[in-house]
Structure 1
Amino acid sequence: MKFPKILVAFILAASSVLMAQQKEVSLEEIWSGTFREERLQSLQSLNNGEEYVVLNRDRESGAASIDVYSYKSGKKTRTLLSSNDLDKIDSFQGFKFSKKEDKILLSTEVEPIYRRSSREIFYVYDVKSKDLKKVSEDKVQEASFSPDASKLAYVFDNNIYILDLKTNERTQVTKDGEINSTINGITDWVYEEEFSFVKAFEWNPTGEKLAFLKFDETEVPEFSMDLFGKDLYPTQQVFKYPKAGEANSKVSLHMYDVKFKNSEEIDLGDKYDVASEAKTSEDFSDFYISRIKWSADPMLLSVQVLNRHQNNLDLIFVDAEDNDATVVLNETDEAYVDITDNLTFLEDNSFIWTSEQDGYNHIYHYDEQGELLDQVTSGDWEVTNYYGYDKKADKIYYQSTENGSVNRDVYSVKPNGKNKKRLTERTGMNSASFSADYTYFINSFTNVETPHVYTLHRTKDGKQVREILNNSELLKKNEPYGFSPKELSTININGNDLNMWTIKPSDFDENKEYPLLMFQYSGPGSQSVSNSYFSSNDYWYQLLADKGYIIVCIDGRGTGFKGAEFKKVTYQELGKYEVEDQISAAQKLGERSYIDKDRIGIWGWSYGGFMSSNAILKGNDTFSMAIAVAPVTSWRFYDTVYTERYMRTPQENASGYDENSPLNHVEKLKGDYLLIHGGGDDNVHLQNTMRMVEELIQANKQFDWAIYPDRNHGIYGGNTRLHLYNKMTDFILEKL
């Protein structure tokens, strides 16, 4: 029988599509980077606003270069510096410009310490003379140019030094620095982790003063971790870690006079919590200095001081000429006040500030005395990023959830709140990187159907100038797998419409029953459900979907971007309302005809591991399986800043800590439970899992567990992630 050519072609095409859809994704592909998105390299705008620089690297030779590109054309205009032209170094890992861009600080031999900190060998490159100067023979931290680039400040062995780049004179600013005792100019562990900064010194705009923080860690208890390595004897890492309710570092602010080479401690007044039982002595000042920043007045330093309960924030101005301190703005909250980097000073020293004081995070404009001039934004939505103020256009640029909490858009608005304009057009997650003079911005866009696309836009009207980079090749690569879409929706749980995404099997049949796996993080102010493309975990979920699972993620109460009340309902009760929402959601989903209510599992990492552990214990009739990776099992084990922000101290709120601790509910375990941790986790200590293991053993409860030796909170390196996800996949396939 002879078929028409058109019919034959149709049959072949249909067969090809069917075969393509049958291609299964593998864990090896996921964790080898097969589905990695192309991202725009970290770029930095030059002062002229017309050009930007990118650090490029030759993969074969390892050589690094700082290349200059035109915003408008996207074409490379020149190479500012190449390591091929340098005699003293083969390459460099990072760079920083001086204010006038006449000198470049190059970082080499970078040695990571914790999440944000590192030690490095630094060099200073003079753009005009092409001279290259080594800063120190030692690896130092947080090197920073003075405003005129004549000097460089840095930290070595917990002391601050200033190097005169003209005379090579080196001045030791502090001399009392000592490991695990006194820190100058950089933050301690808990500040770095929870207040998200390491460099704790700032040059004033004229280079005459250096403001810095000092941390007295003497009373902070030590934490130790055994690292097994490959030598005959293990080593031990010992560092100061203040657990909830224990002593913090005593922090103080100091002002150094560069000319006279002397320092003076600044009196910030009584800022400690009288009610706190965590003080170790009568004069222990329990407060945090969460930010320091020089204002538009070169002799006026702004200091943000937070009480230990973190519900009372003072914005203080320090006059660097007489070191007098004045409280300019005070903000309080029944729960806690969040710290941001959104403080911006205008030329008249009025300032932009963000706050949740009306129930949603919005932008405010205050004069130099702290008197409110205007509430710039308002409404039942959140400002999620503040980009800056353009003096020439008299506009503020920000990102917000005005188009729904799972979306982001970029806007401009006058400081008085008028003439607001949406600068982005596509619905999804939009973010912006502005040129130095705000002429252009690069928009990063993604949604559930689109991997990241980078486009250049005119700031004045948002019009697209050109496309810079897209991920169309990734979409082509994904086609043969026939991946299921990530479906966005809401589910009404405990009186709230919660954001949810769902991934179903590609051959989903609503007349069949499927097991359900729930993922969540659930930490305060977090977001796991957004209008964005697949992450690495989403490809793993596609693998599980191919094997007949439905995967769901729900952001319950306590998560972010729906207003302060929604976020702060979990205050003093971490693990209560969030767990109730996951249990209720699982029960409601289990009522759907295509979900097997007897085969519902849940998993999470870190806070999510705390949640999944509680869920299988408190929801033992709902969840038949749980995986907890690097979980907190008692908030008594976690650090002061994070934990007390949401829970107060254990001395004040013992029931809040204990009633929602998985350690106290182990007897309720019915289902299959897998517990995983990294042995070198400096953040959520292995202690959490070891205590959980002991409680389960004493309750005679069977469970599975795995420890990854010497791995930190991220549990990665070599084949570690692949092994971890193989283990979790096998557990799910066997138990759920």
Structure 2
Amino acid sequence: MFYRNLVIVFVILIAPGSLLAQNRDVTVQDVWRGTFYARSTSGLRSMNDGLHFTVLNGADGSIDKYSYESGEKVATLLSSKEIEKKTGQSIQFDSYQFNATEDKVLLGTESESIYRHSSKSYYFIYDLKQGSLSKVDAEGKQQLADLSPTENKVAYVYQNKMHVQDLDGESESISFGEGKENALIAGAVDWVYEEEFSFHKGFHWSPDGQYIAYYQFDESEVPTFSMDVYGQALYPSQDVFKYPKAGEVNSKVSIHIYDLKSQKDHKVELPMAVEYYPRIKWTSEADELVITTLNRHQDHLILWEVEVEKKGLEVEKLYEEKAPAYLEIHDNLRFLDDNSFIWTSEKDGYNHIYHYGEDGKLIRQITKGEWEVTEFYGYESGSGYLYYQSAEESPIRRSVFRVKLDGTGKEKLSTKKGWNDATFSSGFQFYINRYSSASTPTLETLHRSNGKEVRVINDNEGTQKRMEMFRLSPKEFIQIPNEEGTQLNAWMIKPQDFDASKSYPVLMFVYGGPGSQTVEDSYDAFNGFWYQALAAKGYIVVSVDNRGTGARGRDFRTQTYQQLGKLETEDQIAAAKWLAKQKYVDGERIGIWGWSYGGYMSSLGITKGADVFKMAIAVAPVTNWRFYDNIYTERYMRTPQENPDGYDDNSPINHVDKLEGAYFLVHGSADDNVHVQNTMRMISALVKADKQFDLFIYPDKNHGIYGGNTRNHLYTKMTEFIEENL
């Protein structure tokens, strides 16, 4: 759902230098040919020694080993040519995974996407020592193949069931769990878990390789959603999948532990009924699993410790947390060598790091203050340091810190003002710092764990030089008060030849959803430069983070609880009214646009704020939260049965009679996330109310609406609509 998760796939066609005349204006075509794209390292995997990393070189079909310190290539560990030479088999792999001892490699071939995170492939295992190749034994493509941490076995999901194959051939493959299309899933997860709990692998090996903990889903009673896929054939096909909308029944989920030695399947029986199982994780003990559970309102979380014993499973409550509104799920649970654990929580009003004993009792709160820990990187036992990212300096910026387990020795590691993020090597010997600001493309530097810079990895000098060829306006960070006097973070881009004595039209960009941010001091190679193109045409572009957005503490974020859209819209309207009072703004020409949650917000803006906004563009909008999935929606709204007014009072569908300005609806017909149903229902309401509007549907495009020339076409169309109506 979140804007930051939209995936953009494109081919970078940097314009020749002769086309980049000095001081030329940015165009839509410049943006979507990748002129301002900032390179960054991706896909590197730290090796066990923490001194080297590997990268998949797709062009050469090889896995190459590099030194962190020097950046030099040390060796080619495996290549398609080597496989063919030693085994006589020709395979082109597109993914890889080492086993725990790094002497075998799991290779994925012919991979194809399923949903946002999930995919399926044909899998092979290559033995680096013996030079032999094994194939995962299944007739079709498999999901989630994973090598045992201790034995020569591979586990995977095929036809919705769990399978384990002995690669030595000493024992037959085994299968367990129940599988049936659109009914039963073992080892993977259903659509809504994948989308809203952000994971798709539904099984985990125990550290000693004896057990596999796995999810079992029964989605047979979940309502089915279908989408037409038009394709190129004479007749369209249909994509049919289970999708629980707000208030509808969920999959029945259970957690199982399979013992590979005894080949017995143990179902975990908890002492109370729960709705969701958003995480499972083995502790530092080989026979202890921790299960995270949530109630349906998602305001009561419990960590259950499950111990595998000869007599079965012993279950105890390890940790419990309740919230006044709701809890967000994270991946910050870390078990230390003594089985004590690290946990992050916003129970004091801001997200911070806590240390608990193996009995679940609090040892200490490690970080404190009226600021948020925004990312927890991990703990290094040798030095005793924890590493994290925070918004301590400003909600619109990020810095990297470290602190001792006992809360002492806090150090800021990043040095530049803007947006810093770190990726650590195994053992925390090195980290790559990725820095950018609103005016600086990504700068990647390698550091030792104490923050000392070792070398520059990537400075995007080419992008910097291309930027110098264009007329660009600075992104100014400001604060705008809402009606209650709360200062809202915002940014503004003015025309390059701005004259304060003139008045300009304004386009506001909004997302506005819970915990999100659009006001960030970070580089934006795409929308950020589209706004430069609009500025060159004489528009002021503004974005405001309304109440409910992130990095300002729990209470600021949860104000919108059970009334999504109400306070957010009030804040956007208040910001537009404040802008209209500025002498350099034409208050009669203010527009608003957004995507996804932002499309919902722009639709509310042009209806509930009809006296303020002259035009709106809504891309892939939610138009009533009744149409969206239950895990996301009910977290913030509870169910429609419990809170019908919360759903309907701020549904744009119920405010179409107020529409006066120009309204442009855009949707992809194959959006499995925010269904095109939202736009179709909005159309029906607009027609009934006799309101004119513009519409464009992108056939077979999903929530991201990308691929080929699609983004260039969409942004050209939006630019033309803005010019015609603002």
Q: Shared topology, TM-score over 0.5?
A: yes
* Residue 656 in structure 1 maps to residue 646 in structure 2: yes
Alpha-carbon distance change, 168 to 567 in structure 1, aligned in 2, over 3 angstroms:
farther
Please tell me whether the aligned partners of residues 294 and 301 of structure 1 are also in contact (alpha carbons under 8 angstroms): yes
Matches within 5 A, 1:16-55: 20=21, 22-55=23-56
Q: Distance in 2 between matches of 1:166 and 1:46?
A: 25
* Residue 119 in structure 1 maps to residue 120 in structure 2: yes
Which residue of the partner structure matches residue 582 of structure 2?
A: 592
Over residues 319-343 of structure 1, what are the superposed CA-to-partner deviations in whole Å (9 max), with x where a residue is unaligned? 1223121111100011111110000
Over residues 204-248 of structure 1, what are the superposed CA-to-partner deviations in whole Å (9 max), with x where a residue is unaligned? 111111111101011100011111112111111111000000000
Q: Which amino acid aligns with 1:448?
A: A
* Residue 161 in structure 1 maps to residue 158 in structure 2: no
Among residues 379, 384, 394, which one is paired with 1:394 in the alignment? Answer: 384
* Residue 457 in structure 1 maps to residue 447 in structure 2: yes
Q: Distance in 2 between matches of 1:531 and 1:34?
A: 20
Q: Distance in 2 between matches of 1:520 and 1:693?
A: 22
* Residue 610 in structure 1 maps to residue 600 in structure 2: yes
Please tell me whether the aligned partners of residues 151 and 209 of structure 2 are also in contact (alpha carbons under 8 angstroms): no
Q: Which amino acid aligns with 1:394?
A: G
Q: Distance in 2 between matches of 1:175 and 1:44?
A: 32
Q: Distance in 1 between matches of 2:110 and 2:586?
A: 54
Among residues 213, 225, 229, which one is paired with 1:227 in the alignment? Answer: 229
Which residue of the partner structure matches residue 131 of structure 1?
A: 132
Which residue of the partner structure matches residue 613 of structure 2?
A: 623
* Residue 151 in structure 1 maps to residue 137 in structure 2: no
SS of alignment partner, residue 314 of structure 1: strand
Q: Which amino acid aligns with 1:209?
A: Y
Q: Structure 1 residue 168: deviation in Å?
A: 6.4
Q: Distance in 1 between matches of 2:422 and 2:578?
A: 39
Q: Which amino acid aligns with 1:85?
A: E
Matches within 5 A, 1:282-321: 287-321=275-309
Over residues 566-600 of structure 1, what are the superposed CA-to-partner deviations in whole Å (9 max), with x where a residue is unaligned? 00100001001111100000000110001000000
Among residues 52, 76, 81, which one is paired with 2:78 in the alignment? Answer: 81
Identity %: 53
Please tell me whether the aligned partners of residues 31 and 525 of structure 2 are also in contact (alpha carbons under 8 angstroms): no
Q: Structure 1 residue 170: deviation in Å?
A: 4.4
Q: Structure 1 residue 477: deviation in Å?
A: 0.7
Q: Structure 1 residue 39: deviation in Å?
A: 1.1
Alpha-carbon distance change, 725 to 101 in structure 1, aligned in 2, over 3 angstroms:
same
Please tell me whether the aligned partners of residues 385 and 399 of structure 1 are also in contact (alpha carbons under 8 angstroms): yes
Over residues 394-416 of structure 1, what are the superposed CA-to-partner deviations in whole Å (9 max), with x where a residue is unaligned? 11111001111111111111111
Please tell me whether the aligned partners of residues 625 and 672 of structure 1 are also in contact (alpha carbons under 8 angstroms): yes
Matches within 5 A, 1:241-390: 241-272=243-274, 287-321=275-309, 322-390=312-380
Please tell me whether the aligned partners of residues 26 and 471 of structure 2 are also in contact (alpha carbons under 8 angstroms): no
Runs of 5+ consecutive residues of structure 1 not aligned to the other structure: 1-18, 273-286
Q: Distance in 1 between matches of 2:34 and 2:552?
A: 34
Over residues 502-540 of structure 1, what are the superposed CA-to-partner deviations in whole Å (9 max), with x where a residue is unaligned? 111110111111000000111100011111123301111
Q: Which amino acid aligns with 2:32?
A: W
SS of alignment partner, residue 569 of structure 1: helix
Q: Distance in 2 between matches of 1:108 and 1:592?
A: 58
Q: Which amino acid aligns with 1:534?
A: D
Q: Which amino acid aligns with 1:42?
A: G
SS of alignment partner, residue 315 of structure 1: strand
Alpha-carbon distance change, 20 to 513 in structure 1, aligned in 2, over 3 angstroms:
farther
Q: Which amino acid aligns with 1:705?
A: L
SS of alignment partner, residue 173 of structure 2: strand
Matches within 5 A, 1:438-453: 438-453=428-443
* Residue 192 in structure 1 maps to residue 194 in structure 2: yes
Q: Structure 1 residue 102: deviation in Å?
A: 1.1
SS of alignment partner, residue 352 of structure 1: strand
SS of alignment partner, residue 129 of structure 2: coil
Over residues 537-564 of structure 1, what are the superposed CA-to-partner deviations in whole Å (9 max), with x where a residue is unaligned? 1111111110000000111100000000
Q: Structure 1 residue 176: deviation in Å?
A: 2.6
* Residue 176 in structure 1 maps to residue 178 in structure 2: yes
Among residues 493, 504, 520, which one is paired with 2:510 in the alignment? Answer: 520
Over residues 681-701 of structure 1, what are the superposed CA-to-partner deviations in whole Å (9 max), with x where a residue is unaligned? 100001000000000000000
Q: Distance in 2 between matches of 1:672 and 1:487?
A: 28
Please tell me whether the aligned partners of residues 433 and 444 of structure 2 are also in contact (alpha carbons under 8 angstroms): yes
Over residues 305-355 of structure 1, what are the superposed CA-to-partner deviations in whole Å (9 max), with x where a residue is unaligned? 001110000000001223121111100011111110000000110000000
* Residue 236 in structure 1 maps to residue 238 in structure 2: yes
* Residue 437 in structure 1 maps to residue 446 in structure 2: no
Q: Distance in 2 between matches of 1:569 and 1:350?
A: 34
Please tell me whether the aligned partners of residues 177 and 216 of structure 2 are also in contact (alpha carbons under 8 angstroms): no
Please tell me whether the aligned partners of residues 161 and 170 of structure 1 are also in contact (alpha carbons under 8 angstroms): no
Q: Distance in 2 between matches of 1:609 and 1:120?
A: 35
Q: Distance in 2 between matches of 1:320 and 1:612?
A: 52
* Residue 705 in structure 1 maps to residue 695 in structure 2: yes
What is the alpha-carbon root mean square deviation over aligned residues? Answer: 1.2
Q: Structure 1 residue 630: deviation in Å?
A: 0.3
Over residues 418-446 of structure 1, what are the superposed CA-to-partner deviations in whole Å (9 max), with x where a residue is unaligned? 11111111111111111111111111111
Q: Structure 1 residue 36: deviation in Å?
A: 1.3
Q: Structure 1 residue 255: deviation in Å?
A: 1.2
Q: Distance in 2 between matches of 1:158 and 1:169?
A: 22
Q: Distance in 2 between matches of 1:21 and 1:269?
A: 70
Please tell me whether the aligned partners of residues 159 and 172 of structure 1 are also in contact (alpha carbons under 8 angstroms): no
Q: Distance in 2 between matches of 1:169 and 1:569?
A: 58
Over residues 334-377 of structure 1, what are the superposed CA-to-partner deviations in whole Å (9 max), with x where a residue is unaligned? 11111100000001100000001000000000001110001010
SS of alignment partner, residue 178 of structure 1: coil
Please tell me whether the aligned partners of residues 20 and 482 of structure 1 are also in contact (alpha carbons under 8 angstroms): no
Q: Structure 1 residue 129: deviation in Å?
A: 1.3
Please tell me whether the aligned partners of residues 352 and 366 of structure 2 are also in contact (alpha carbons under 8 angstroms): yes
Q: Distance in 2 between matches of 1:170 and 1:384?
A: 46
* Residue 419 in structure 1 maps to residue 445 in structure 2: no
Q: Distance in 2 between matches of 1:22 and 1:469?
A: 26
Q: Structure 1 residue 625: deviation in Å?
A: 0.3
Which residue of the partner structure matches residue 10 of structure 2?
A: none
Q: Which amino acid aligns with 1:115?
A: R
Among residues 474, 485, 492, which one is paired with 2:474 in the alignment? Answer: 485
Q: Distance in 2 between matches of 1:78 and 1:161?
A: 34
Please tell me whether the aligned partners of residues 103 and 149 of structure 1 are also in contact (alpha carbons under 8 angstroms): no
Structure 1 stretch displaced more, 504-513 or 715-724 = 715-724
Q: Distance in 1 between matches of 2:151 and 2:50?
A: 21
Which residue of the partner structure matches residue 92 of structure 2?
A: 91
TM, length-normalised to structure 1: 0.94
Q: Distance in 2 between matches of 1:82 and 1:172?
A: 31
Which residue of the partner structure matches residue 8 of structure 1?
A: none
Please tell me whether the aligned partners of residues 522 and 608 of structure 1 are also in contact (alpha carbons under 8 angstroms): yes
Q: Which amino acid aligns with 2:583?
A: S
Please tell me whether the aligned partners of residues 677 and 707 of structure 1 are also in contact (alpha carbons under 8 angstroms): yes
Q: Which amino acid aligns with 2:76?
A: T
Q: Structure 1 residue 84: deviation in Å?
A: 2.2
Q: Distance in 1 between matches of 2:270 and 2:113?
A: 33
Q: Which amino acid aligns with 1:535?
A: A
Q: Structure 1 residue 175: deviation in Å?
A: 5.4
Q: Distance in 2 between matches of 1:174 and 1:312?
A: 32
TM, length-normalised to structure 2: 0.95
Q: Structure 1 residue 478: deviation in Å?
A: 1.4
Please tell me whether the aligned partners of residues 50 and 435 of structure 1 are also in contact (alpha carbons under 8 angstroms): yes
